[in-house]
Chain A
Amino acid sequence: MLITVFNAILIILITIVSYKYFSLRESFGSEKHRATAYAEALGTITEKIEAYENSHVNAMAAMAIEIGKARKLDPEQLDALTYAVWLHDIGELLLPRELLKSSEKLSRQNLFLLRTHPLLGEFELKNRCSVYDEVPAIIRWHHERWDGNGYPDCLKGEEIPLCSRIITLVDAVSAMKSNRPYRTRTMSHREVLRELDLQAGLQFDPELVEIFKGLYPESKEELH
Chain B
Amino acid sequence: MIRLQSSWLLESAGEVASVDSIFFPFIHRYSSLNWFSRRGLELTINTPLDSQAMLMRVWLDARKGPFSEKNRRKFNQLIKKPLELDMNPFRNWNDRLFSRQQLDYLFYWREAAYEIEDQAQREIFWGSVYGIMSYWLSNRRVNREPAYQPDEIMHLVLNLHQEHCENQDAELILLNSKFEELSPPESVLAVFPLVFTDEEDEEFQLQSIFHAWYHGHADVEQARRDIKNQLRQYSFSTEKKTDFSTLLKLSEKSEVVAICWSGVELPPKIHEQEIIEPFRREFVHRFSRSQFSIKTVNPARDSYDYLLLFFN
Which residues of chain A have a CB within 8 Å of any CB of chain B? 74, 76-77, 108, 112, 119, 133-134, 137, 140, 146-149, 151-159, 161-163, 197-198, 200-202, 206-207, 209-210
Contacts and interface: CB of A to CB of B under 8 A. Distances in A.
Contacts of B148: 198
Interface string B236-254: 0000000000000000000
Interface string B147-181: 11000000010001000000100000000000000
Interface string B24-52: 00000101111100100000000000000
B138 A157 contact: yes
B139 interface: yes
B202 A158 contact: yes
Interface of B: 1-7, 29, 31-35, 38, 131, 134-136, 138-139, 141-142, 144, 146-148, 156, 160, 167, 201-203, 262, 295-300, 303
Given A156-B203, A206-B141, A147 B131 contact: yes
Contacts of A158: 1, 201-202
Contacts of A140: 5
Contact of B134 (A147, A152, A200, A209): A147
A134 B298 contact: yes
A162 B146 CA distance: 22
Given A77-B298, A210-B144, A153 B201 contact: no
B139 A153 contact: no
Nearest to A76: B300
Contacts of A201: 134-136, 138-139, 144, 146
Contacts of A112: 38
Contacts of B136: 201
A198 B147 contact: yes
Contacts of A151: 35
A147 B29 CA distance: 12
B218 to A, nearest CB: 22
B296 A156 contact: no
A154 B262 CA distance: 15
A97 B34 CA distance: 28
A138 to B, nearest CB: 9
Contacts of B156: 202
Contact of B299 (A133, A153, A154, A163): A133
A197 B147 contact: yes
A134 B35 contact: no
Contact of B147 (A149, A152, A200): A200
A168 B295 CA distance: 21
Contact of B295 (A74, A137, A152): A137
A161 B297 contact: yes
Contact of B35 (A154, A156, A210): A154
A153 B35 contact: yes
B146 A154 contact: no
Nearest to A137: B297
A97 to B, nearest CB: 24
Nearest to A140: B5
A206 B138 contact: yes
B141 A153 contact: no
B296 A200 contact: no
A153 B297 contact: no
A22 B12 CA distance: 45
B73 to A, nearest CB: 23
Contacts of B167: 108
B220 to A, nearest CB: 18
Contacts of A153: 3-7, 32, 35
Given A147-B135, A157-B203, A74 B300 contact: yes
28 contacts: A134-B299, A137-B295, A140-B5, A147-B134, A149-B34, A152-B7, A153-B4, A153-B5, A153-B7, A153-B32, A154-B6, A154-B31, A154-B35, A155-B32, A156-B29, A156-B32, A157-B203, A158-B202, A161-B297, A200-B144, A200-B146, A201-B136, A202-B135, A206-B138, A206-B141, A207-B142, A210-B142, A210-B144
B88 to A, nearest CB: 23
A65 to B, nearest CB: 16
Contacts of A133: 296, 299
A200 B145 CA distance: 10
A157 B139 CA distance: 11
Contacts of B202: 157-158
Which of B134, B147, B167 counts the most chain A CB atoms within 10 A? B147
B303 A161 contact: yes
A154 B7 CA distance: 11
Q: Which 5 residue pairs of A and B lie closest in terms of their CB atoms, listed nearest first?
A: A148-B31, A154-B34, A197-B147, A133-B296, A201-B135
A127 B201 CA distance: 33
B193 to A, nearest CB: 12
Contacts of A209: 144
Contacts of B29: 148, 156
Contact of B144 (A147, A156, A161, A206): A206
